[in-house]
């Protein structure tokens, strides 16, 4: 962090800066020392903290669910098995109610999205100074611990969903059916350019809105926690606890919305007119 007693502006900028690794035009390969160097590294720079925490939380998800599956019993279930079964039944029912096609991928995909996004969002409840200060002791200057406050992470997930939308659209409708859907609706053959403009914008808006909705809500929540942290100590407790309780709803709701929109978009892709 900039100095022993950073200004509020320096404090906020520090906590919003990712640990960035890439090729600097002057300094070569290495970690960026500040937002200016990170920007100079360009598009191919890697946010190491976003990738690291995403993989770590994904590994937690896989480990817990694998353990629950291996230890599953037909008798009285343990706490972990009971929790996992509730989640699986909830997601499975959501898929049955929303997805009208036939695919064995959608339910596991929806479960993965919901739990993984929830875990990434949950990191927002970790005190804003705890992990960054811990990593500074280890010599790491920057550490953002909430992957979903990085638009690169949310956009990466939404582009993966977008690729599945294109795949299922072509698989179910064929190339001609998919192209026809983009060019012949809603005004018929005489308005093909206008149809393509309307349908193309609607198609491209799906991954963008999916990514920005999750990013915007979590980034705003993280920023509020940071703003609370620069206030006097007695005010911090008065504000942080109520905001954390309210933010639990945001964390769960945003994971649910991301999952449900994914199911809805894939269901629309599988509808053959």
Domain boundaries, the chain: 49-269
- pLDDT number for residue 250: 94
Question: Would residue 209 show up in a list of annotated catalytic residues for this protein?
Answer: yes
- pLDDT number for residue 4: 61
- pLDDT number for residue 273: 61
Catalytically annotated residue among 27, 71, 82, 209: 209
- pLDDT number for residue 1: 53
Question: Would residue 217 show up in a list of annotated catalytic residues for this protein?
Answer: yes
- pLDDT number for residue 62: 95
- pLDDT number for residue 186: 76
Question: Would residue 102 show up in a list of annotated catalytic residues for this protein?
Answer: no
Measure Cα distances from 247 to 83, 144, 209, 242, 259 in Å: 22, 18, 21, 8, 18
- pLDDT number for residue 235: 86
Q: What is the pLDDT of residues 77-107, one digit of tens each?
A: 788 889 999 999 999 999 999 988 777 889 9
Determine the angle formed by the axes of helices 233-269 and 79-98, rounding to 10 degrees: 50
- pLDDT number for residue 113: 96
Catalytically annotated residue among 103, 160, 213, 267: 213
Measure Cα distances from 252 to 42, 134, 143, 217 in Å: 33, 27, 23, 12
Model confidence, pTM: 0.91
Q: Residue 163 corresponds to which tokens in the numbers above?
A: 């690729």
Q: What is the pLDDT of residues 244-273, one digit of tens each?
A: 899 999 999 999 999 999 999 999 888 766
Sheet holding 46-47, edge to edge: 28-31, 20-24, 46-47
With beta carbons less than 8 A apart as the criterion, state whether 231 and 86 touch: no
Residue ranges, the chain, pLDDT below 70:
1-4, 272-273
With beta carbons less than 8 A apart as the criterion, state whether 148 and 215 touch: yes
- pLDDT number for residue 112: 95
Catalytically annotated residue among 94, 121, 158, 217: 217
């Amino acid at each position: 962090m900039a100095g022993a007693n950073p200004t509020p502006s320096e404090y906020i900028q520090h906590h919003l800066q990712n640990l960035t690794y890439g090729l600097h035009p002057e300094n070569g390969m290495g970690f960026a020392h500040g937002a200016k160097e990170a920007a100079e590294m360009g598009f191919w720079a890697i946010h190491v903290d976003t990738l690291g925490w995403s993989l770590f939380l994904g590994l937690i998800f896989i480990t817990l669910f694998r353990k629950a599956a291996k230890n599953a019993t037909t008798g009285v279930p343990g706490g972990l098995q009971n929790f996992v079964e509730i989640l699986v039944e909830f997601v499975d029912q959501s898929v049955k109610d929303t997805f009208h096609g036939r695919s064995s991928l959608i339910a596991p995909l929806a479960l993965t999205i919901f739990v993984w996004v929830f875990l990434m969002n949950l990191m927002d409840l970790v005190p804003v100074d705890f992990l960054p200060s811990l990593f500074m002791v280890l010599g790491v200057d920057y550490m953002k611990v909430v992957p979903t406050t990085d638009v690169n992470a949310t956009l990466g997930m939404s582009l993966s969903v977008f690729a599945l939308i294109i795949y299922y659209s072509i698989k179910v409708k064929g190339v001609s059916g998919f192209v026809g859907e983009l060019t012949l609706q809603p005004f018929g053959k005489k308005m093909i350019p206008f149809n393509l403009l309307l349908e193309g914008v609607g198609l491209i808006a799906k991954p963008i809105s999916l990514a920005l909705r999750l990013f915007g809500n979590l980034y705003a929540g993280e920023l509020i926690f940071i703003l609370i942290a620069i206030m006097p100590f007695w005010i911090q407790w008065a504000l942080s606890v109520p905001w954390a309780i309210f933010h639990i709803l945001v964390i769960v709701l945003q994971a649910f919305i991301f999952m449900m929109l994914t199911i809805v978009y894939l269901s629309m892709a599988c509808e053959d007119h």
